Structure 1
Amino acid sequence: MWERIPIGRPERHSIGVVPSYEEEAVGTVGWLWNNSETMHGNPGRRYVDYSNALDCLSAAHVEWQPYNREEVQNMELSPQCTMDTQYWRSVCPLICYYIVEFHLPNRVMRQFGILQTCPPEHLSTSQELHAIDRRKQRGMKNWEEKHVAHVNAWNLRANNIVFGGPVHRDSQFKTYLEWLKQQTRLKLKVAMDATNIEDFPSDPEDVFDEYDARTRMA
């Protein structure tokens, strides 16, 4: 999250020596945050502050391709980080025993620097799949048989890869965001507290990062 959005992003300190095992670098991008500042302050105030900041978040605040920056490119990453790159844009089911979730890179083309199609190609993620759990399917022993259609789709993942398209353009992306607002739920739950953040008791340990400060001044 800290790589992509600035809300709650702490200050980073020196990362030190990247760990290695048998002369192979095993560092990941997450290692960059291994030595970061701990955020302090009144929990209630921080919760409301983060909620307000999330409400103010726009596409312009998001770092859509954080791994392309020079700092990451110069890291000696673990080979695990770049394994199977040919499948990163494959539209396919991801299977773990009884759980099946769909990988849908066609819905997040902005993250690849490619123009997001609007509306994106529809693919049902199946309410039937979401109803499967261990309690309701205790008698099931052979999940490969149960999910044979999805196993077959996984085996053919190389045939369903989203390739390049037009380069991302902000003007066209705004059209997609307007469409998305009409198609999705924008509020997940009611506010935890209706108290104005300024009415919370002050706390000398409150630390607000740069983004929080800019948001509060807006």
Structure 2
Amino acid sequence: MLLIGTILFGDKSGAGVHWKFLPLLRDFVNIGQYSWGSACLAHLYRALCRASRYNCKEIDGPLTLLLAWVWIRLPYLSPLPREPRSFPLANRWRNWERGDRRYRYLKLAHFRKAFDELQEGQFVWVAYAVDRVDPNIIPAKIYMQSVIWSATVPLVSFECIEWHATDRLRRQFGFVQEVPSQEQNLDKAHGEILTGPKNLNWATTPTHSNWVIHWTNRYHYVLSELPMPSQHPLDTYLNWYRSKYGARLALANLAGEENDEGNQDLDVGNEDMDEGNEDTDEGSQDMDEDNEEQEQYISPAIPPPQEQPQASI
């Protein structure tokens, strides 16, 4: 319950777990039959969607997943990694505050400017390639399911449906990025709110049935194209992207007064860092001890997704 309520499907309450997850734990032996990964990703997409609203002040959802994704694919934005040879990969930033104290004082303006200055080689498209991650670290059971990582399908978790738009991230799977098709319209299913009977079968509801069938047939929707080098010319796509989203690409202009406030706070933070240097040696010693523990510990593999869609529960 702690894992469900904090890491996988956390909400802004921070203190409870929604009742809809309880029936999934009834048959604990077969709990691995559900696609927990796709459901977790659906909740993250929904959280990002809500956070994009102008009147939203906070974000919930599986933020550990979001941070790990950003830090793996944009390493120049991440804290100093500790590179443990263990799974999950996010372990490399366990207790990152000890190893990279200055990172805590970076402000929003810093990251906006860093995004604006992003260069081609700074984004890691194929993050799990053998030249990036030792193949012995990620369990073989997870790699066995990699064929459906690129499936362009709806992600379904109870009332929550979000679109897995892999056709807009083809380079992530080693393909050439083309101008994508029109955005998928989830219609009323995207705004569905969980009400009514607690044992509702979403696979038979009018708003969800077609999307659940689409997910069930996900092996038919994987990207199919001969892999091409990531350096392949993308002029057509980039021209389309800039013409469609160009006005929203410059984030530094949105910083405004935050720059001055951020610099002032950073100066204060530097003073705190100087005062905290006395703890650095002790923290480094703790890091060494933690590394020794991590080398002896390998987290259990996450069960791979199976054919049964979670939304049918």
Same fold (TM over 0.5): yes
The residue type equivalent to 1:54 in the other structure is: F
| Aligned equivalent of 1:38 | 100
Task: Say if 2:181 is the partner of 1:112.
Answer: no
Question: What residue ranges of structure 1 are gaps of 5+ in the alignment?
Answer: 19-26, 207-218
Question: Which residue of 2 is the match for residue 191 of structure 1?
Answer: 255
- Matched AA of 1:182: S
What amino acid does structure 2 have at the position aligned with 1:72?
A: V
Distance 1:71 1:58, change over 3 A: closer
Q: In 2 relative to 1, CA 162–31 (structure 1 residues): closer, same or farther, beyond 3 Å?
A: same
Shift of residue 196, structure 1, vs aligned partner: 4.5
- Which sits farther off after the overlay, 142-151 or 178-187? 178-187
Matched residues in 2 for 1:142 and 1:198: separation?
Answer: 49
Q: Corresponding residue for 2:79?
A: 10
Question: Are 2:119 and 1:62 aligned?
Answer: no
Shift of 1:34: 3.1
* Alpha-carbon distance in structure 1 between the residues aligned to 2:144 and 2:109: 40
- Change beyond 3 A, Cα 1:173–1:151: same
Amino acid at match of 2:209: V
Q: Distance in 2 between matches of 1:127 and 1:191?
A: 34
Q: How many residues align structurally?
A: 192
Structure with the higher fraction of residues in helix conformation = 2
- Report deviation, 1:190: 3.5
Q: Find the partner of 2:184 among 124, 138, 141.
A: 124
Partners of 2:79 and 2:103 within 8 A in 1: no
Q: CA deviation at 1:108?
A: 0.6
Q: CA 1:39 to 1:128, structure 2 compared with 1: closer, same or farther past 3 Å? A: farther
User: Residue 81 of structure 1 is aligned with which of 135, 139, 142?
Assistant: 142
| Structure 1 residues 86 and 14: CA distance shift in structure 2, 3 A | closer
User: Which residue identity is paired with 2:80?
Assistant: E
* Partner Cα separation in structure 1 for residue 183 and residue 262 of structure 2: 45
How far residue 81 of structure 1 moved from its aligned partner, in angstroms, is 3.2
Q: Post-superposition shift, 1:151?
A: 1.4
Match of 2:151 in 1: 90
SS of the residue aligned with 1:31?
Answer: helix
Can you list the C-alpha shifts for 1:135-165, whole angstroms capped at 9, x where unaligned? xxx2363311121111111122222221123
Contact 2:177 2:237 in 1 (8 A): yes
TM-score by length of 2: 0.52
Indicate the residue corresponding to 1:23 in structure 2. none
Number of the residue aligned with 1:149: 210
TM-score (norm 1): 0.72
- Return the letter of the residue paired with 2:188: E
Take 2:192 and 2:115, find their aligned partners in 1: how far apart are those partners? 33
Q: Deviations over 1:99-133 (max 9, x none)?
A: 1112222111111221111x212342324222212
**Contact between 2:150 and 2:173, CA under 8 Å: does it hold in 1?**
no
Give the AA of the match of 1:110: R
Q: Which runs of 4+ in 1 moved over 6 A?
A: none
Rate the CA distance shift 1:78–1:69 in 2: closer, same or farther, 3 A.
closer
Aligned sequence identity (%): 22
Give the Cα separation in 1 of the matches to 2:254 and 2:174: 34
Question: Is 1:89–1:163's contact at 8 Å kept on the other side of the alignment?
Answer: no
- For the residue of structure 2 that corresponds to 1:67, the secondary structure is coil
Q: Over aligned residue pairs, what C-alpha RMSD do you find?
A: 3.1
Change (3 A) 1:59 1:98: same
**CA shift in 2, pair 1:192/1:42, >3 Å:** farther
